[in-house]
Copies of this chain bind each other. A is one copy, B any other.
Amino acid sequence: MPKVGMQPLRRKALIDATILAIGERGSLDVTMSEIAGRAGVSSALAHHYFGAKDDLLEATMRYLLTELNADARLALRAAQTPLQRVSAVVAVNFSEKQFRSETIAAWLAFYVEAQKSQALRRLLRVYARRLHSNLMSGLAPLLPPAQAERAAETIAALIDGLYIRRALRDGLPDAATAAALVEAYLANLPLGTKGRA
């Protein structure tokens, strides 16, 4: 079995297994053995490739962040108008790929863990800033600065809130409904009032 060039494959498999395991357990209380087992390797190998458990968790978080960012970039490129930019950002966050329950459970777990881990906190801050600036790129042309800021904060909070509710499998199950809520919020905004309303 032992071939060469396994490192990237194993790392990817372990990260996938981590997301899966966290998603199923619903928390970061997942053992290295369980993750490793799910990836079809021994726990020793997981340590071999990632060092400490925290490193694996951080790598997993970074992976989720990277994927989300890549999707967002792609969606933004297709947007033609400011409003479409906002919708694109919203749509990405509620896409089937991102709004899966494992992924969401992982996000939630990382939010909690971030209170303990400086590294995770930094990563989440990067995410928050990116989301904010993506939203502002669409909102700034449409609203006076203060209102645009507020709208961006509101949408960001809405996204987080809808993620949590999804994680609890409580009402609000599907991505489409969640996205529609945010779109309804957008529809009520006094858009196009940049030069004083």
Interface residues of A (CB under 8 A from B): 25-27, 29, 105, 108-109, 111-116, 121, 124-125, 128, 150, 153-154, 156-162, 164-165, 167-168, 170-172, 181, 184-185, 188-190
Q: How long is the Cα–Cα vector from A63 to B114 in the complex, in angstroms?
A: 25
Q: Interface of chain A, helix or strand or loop or mixed?
A: helix
Q: Which residue of B is nearest A113, CB measured?
A: B27
Q: Does A170 lie within 8 Å of B25, measured CB to CB?
A: no
Residue numbers in B under 8 Å from A105 (CB-CB): 115
Q: Which residue of B is nearest A26, CB measured?
A: B115
Q: Does A171 lie within 8 Å of B116, measured CB to CB?
A: no
Residue numbers in B under 8 Å from A108 (CB-CB): 111-112
Q: How long is the Cα–Cα vector from A120 to B133 in the complex, in angstroms?
A: 36
Residue numbers in B under 8 Å from A116 (CB-CB): 25-27, 29
Residue numbers in B under 8 Å from A172 (CB-CB): 153, 157
Q: Per a CB cutoff under 8 Å, which of B154, B168, B184, B185 touches A124? A: B168
Q: Which residue of B is nearest A23, CB measured?
A: B115
Q: Does A115 lie within 8 Å of B25, measured CB to CB?
A: yes
Q: Does B161 lie within 8 Å of A164, measured CB to CB?
A: yes
Chain B nearest CB: distance from A136 CB in Å? 13
Q: How long is the Cα–Cα vector from A159 to B154 in the complex, in angstroms?
A: 10
Q: Does B165 lie within 8 Å of A156, measured CB to CB?
A: yes
Chain B nearest CB: distance from A165 CB in Å? 6
Chain B nearest CB: distance from A53 CB in Å? 13
Q: Per a CB cutoff under 8 Å, which of B125, B168, B184 touches A154? A: B184
